[in-house]
């Protein structure tokens, strides 16, 4: 049985295909269209999934959308009625769109899908609709390595639910309780994302990265005024401080007054206030997650926990929940946001609608390292690069590993494009930019000269899974870069009195360990463990780097520049390589060095990035 899952029309559209419970393919639409967080119908992602399965739509048994539009419309109407006459402007903007398109989403989906080999009249009976948090929960539990587990989902809002918990056992998954809109941990975090000058639904991870530079001096203000958190983790927000129910912004003037001024404009400098606000909302979020986790563990008696939803991408909170010990094991869906809803919808349909059987757990999860996107043959890579004007050498696998490891040991920035593209927001060694973690200048170089992004942003380490505890206070796998752990004390550098006196961004340039490029200012790191079973080539590269340097760790950041999605094709990789200060590019067995490229072509791509 083949089931196609789709998420679309809000942000991060995606498609995923499941065959007899096995994940065949999954990808976000943004990677194909090059439009970050593309919300449109995922036409190219659907095509990719069908091509991978070797069929057209006639070979698909069910197509499942990741949420229920009528329930969402119900929430919209009830919210506006509850706050009437406030919010009429927002309501007048939203209602025509719903009446014109979203209430007739079944027809809209059938029409869009009819391009894939089947008429609308035959597609409509195949269409199913899962609830938003049902999709999140299914994406968390069914691919997990656990036979049974508690399940927790947290995000901004689905139809009504903003947080849920339940229990999965074998092929069954039952959600027990939920917290409902307008009370939302995700929306609280998004309100501070907006207030500190970042974009909602894409800038939350910047707030998390900014938090260690600040002091959590607003925690009491938040808990006394904005959110009432109970011992069991349930909570309510004071809506007098927020505008998201009825307005066009997240916060209002009362919120401004509480924190001493208007929101930071995106073009303004980040000040100590923004750092302290980030630290404060991060601390509150962690406390809510910890309380919810404790209560779920107590109620269910389960030793394993699966997590999904946008808040599950808060890897700092995940790490603290793991270390607290309410659960023995935690597994987080790597595509925890709305894109992963496409996969969850397909899995929910297979197990809960079609009564599919779940294979016994083998100790590994079913995500295949999250390498579920497109890949390219060596012949195709060479053709595409030649047509793009690239000058490259073709090496054996052994020579490729040796040359790349050598370049990294010389502190060169390397683009690494190998195998299938990752599904989810993290680059995991398929579409990555790599660097030497020993270099004290690598973070600044990658941020400012290659990624073109804020200097405070930290970078993650990739480490051989078998060596993780040699570098970090972590004794288990973290294959999806969704757990934060501290760098081992034995690797930290002592701070001088003048260093300790620094505040805010001034802390950035102080090396804090023998792997400074991946050590954040609070000695933490967002760890990715690399496994021979899921990415043997990347594993070999780390081994080769270790042989040269004694370190089995690399800086790993996503292969893109600010404002663009992660690269998908060899051409995307070459354009990014040529328009930045990247030194070396490895695509398949093709190796490109910047100094060997055509100068006029380099200038053309550099000009393009400057214009962007």
Compute the CA torsion angle 135, 559, 206, 529 (nearest 10 deg).
Answer: 70
Cα–Cα distance for residue pair 466/552, rounded to 1 Å: 10
| List 11, 62, 133, 136, catalytic entry | 11
Return the structure tokens found at 525. 């790191």
Cα–Cα distance for residue pair 356/607, rounded to 1 Å: 53
Cα–Cα distance for residue pair 385/218, rounded to 1 Å: 52
Cα–Cα distance for residue pair 578/608, rounded to 1 Å: 10
Given the structure tokens 């074998």, which residue do they identify? Answer: 170
Looking at residue 352, what DSSP letter applies?
I
543 CB-contact burial (10 Å; exposed 0-12 / middle 13-18 / buried 19+): middle
CB distance 524 to 279 below 8 Å? no
Closest CA to 193 of 89, 87, 108, 278: 278
Return the structure tokens found at 309. 């939803």
Angle at 249 between CA 245 and CA 253, to 5 degrees: 95
CB distance 467 to 552 below 8 Å? yes
If one counts every other C-beta atom within 10 angstroms of the C-beta of residue 288, the result is: 23
CB distance 460 to 525 below 8 Å? yes
- Which residues are CB-contacts of 497 (< 8 A; sequence separation ≥ 6)? none
CB distance 542 to 409 below 8 Å? no
- Phi, psi values for residue 249, rounded to 5°: -130, 170
CB distance 434 to 532 below 8 Å? no
If one counts every other C-beta atom within 10 angstroms of the C-beta of residue 328, the result is: 12
Q: Which long-range contacts (CB under 8 A, 24 or more apart) does 447-450 make?
A: 449/580, 449/581, 450/413, 450/561, 450/580, 450/581, 450/582
425 CB-contact burial (10 Å; exposed 0-12 / middle 13-18 / buried 19+): buried
Return the structure tokens found at 439. 């270099």
Closest CA to 317 of 340, 299, 296, 291: 291
CB distance 309 to 136 below 8 Å? yes
CB distance 437 to 553 below 8 Å? yes
Question: Is residue 11 annotated as part of the catalytic site, yes or no?
Answer: yes
Return the structure tokens found at 432. 């990555």
Helix (H) or strand (E) holding 441: none
Cα–Cα distance for residue pair 6/343, rounded to 1 Å: 8
Residue 416, strand partner residues: 432, 586
Residues with active-site annotation? 11
């Amino acid at each position: 049985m083949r089931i196609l899952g789709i998420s679309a029309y809000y942000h991060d559209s995606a498609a995923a295909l499941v065959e007899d419970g096995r994940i065949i393919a999954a990808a976000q639409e943004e990677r194909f269209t090059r439009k970050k967080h593309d919300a449109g119908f995922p036409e190219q992602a659907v095509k990719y999934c069908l091509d991978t399965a070797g069929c057209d739509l006639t070979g698909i048994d069910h197509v499942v959308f990741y949420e229920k539009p009528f329930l969402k419309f119900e929430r919209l109407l009830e919210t506006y009625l509850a706050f009437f006459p406030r919010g009429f402007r927002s309501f007048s903007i939203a209602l025509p769109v719903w009446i014109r398109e979203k209430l007739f989403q079944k027809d809209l989906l059938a029409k869009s899908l009819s391009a894939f080999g089947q008429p609308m009249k035959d597609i409509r009976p195949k269409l199913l609709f899962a609830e938003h948090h049902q999709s999140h929960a299914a994406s968390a539990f069914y691919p997990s390595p656990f036979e049974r587990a508690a399940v927790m989902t947290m995000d901004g809002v689905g139809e009504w639910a903003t947080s849920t918990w339940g229990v999965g056992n074998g092929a069954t998954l039952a959600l027990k309780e939920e917290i409902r809109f307008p009370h939302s941990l995700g929306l609280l975090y998004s309100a501070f994302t907006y207030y500190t000058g970042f974009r909602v639904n894409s800038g939350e991870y910047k707030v998390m990265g900014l938090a260690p530079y600040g002091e959590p001096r607003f925690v009491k203000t938040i808990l006394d005024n904005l959110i009432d958190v109970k011992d069991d983790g349930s909570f309510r927000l004071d809506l007098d401080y927020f505008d998201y129910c009825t307005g066009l912004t997240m916060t209002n003037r009362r919120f401004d007054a509480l924190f001493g001024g208007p929101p930071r404009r995106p073009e303004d400098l980040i000040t100590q206030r923004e750092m302290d606000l980030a630290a404060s909302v991060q601390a509150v979020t962690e406390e809510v997650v910890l309380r919810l986790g404790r209560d779920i563990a107590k109620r269910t008696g389960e030793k394993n926990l699966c997590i999904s939803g946008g808040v599950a991408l808060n890897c700092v909170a995940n790490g603290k929940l793991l270390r607290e010990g309410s659960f023995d094991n935690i597994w987080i869906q790597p595509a925890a946001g709305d894109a992963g809803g496409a996969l969850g919808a397909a899995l929910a349909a297979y197990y809960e609608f079609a009564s599919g059987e779940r294979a016994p757990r083998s100790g590994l999860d079913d995500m295949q390292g999250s390498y579920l996107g497109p890949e390219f043959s060596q012949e195709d890579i060479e053709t595409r690069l030649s047509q793009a004007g690239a000058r490259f050498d073709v090496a054996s696998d052994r020579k490729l590993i040796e040359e790349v490891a050598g370049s990294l040991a010389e502190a060169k920035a390397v683009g690494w494009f190998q195998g299938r593209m990752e599904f989810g927001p993290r680059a995991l060694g398929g579409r990555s930019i790599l660097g030497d973690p020993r270099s004290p200048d690598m973070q600044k170089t990658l941020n400012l000269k290659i990624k073109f992004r804020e200097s405070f942003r930290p970078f993650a380490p990739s480490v051989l899974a078998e060596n993780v505890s040699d570098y970090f206070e972590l004794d288990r796998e973290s294959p999806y870069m969704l757990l934060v752990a501290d760098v081992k004390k034995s690797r930290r550098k002592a701070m001088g009195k003048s260093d300790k006196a620094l505040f805010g961004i001034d802390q950035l340039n102080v090396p804090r360990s023998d792997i400074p490029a991946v050590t954040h200012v609070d000695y933490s790191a967002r760890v990715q463990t690399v496994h021979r079973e899921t990415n043997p080539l990347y594993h070999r590269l780390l081994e080769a780097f270790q042989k040269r340097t004694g370190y089995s760790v690399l800086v790993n950041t996503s292969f893109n520049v600010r404002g663009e999605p992660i690269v998908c094709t060899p051409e995307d990789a070459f354009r990014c390589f040529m328009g930045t200060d990247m030194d070396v590019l490895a695509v398949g067995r093709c190796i490109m060095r910047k100094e060997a490229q055509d100068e006029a072509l380099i200038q053309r791509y550099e000009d393009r990035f400057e214009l962007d």
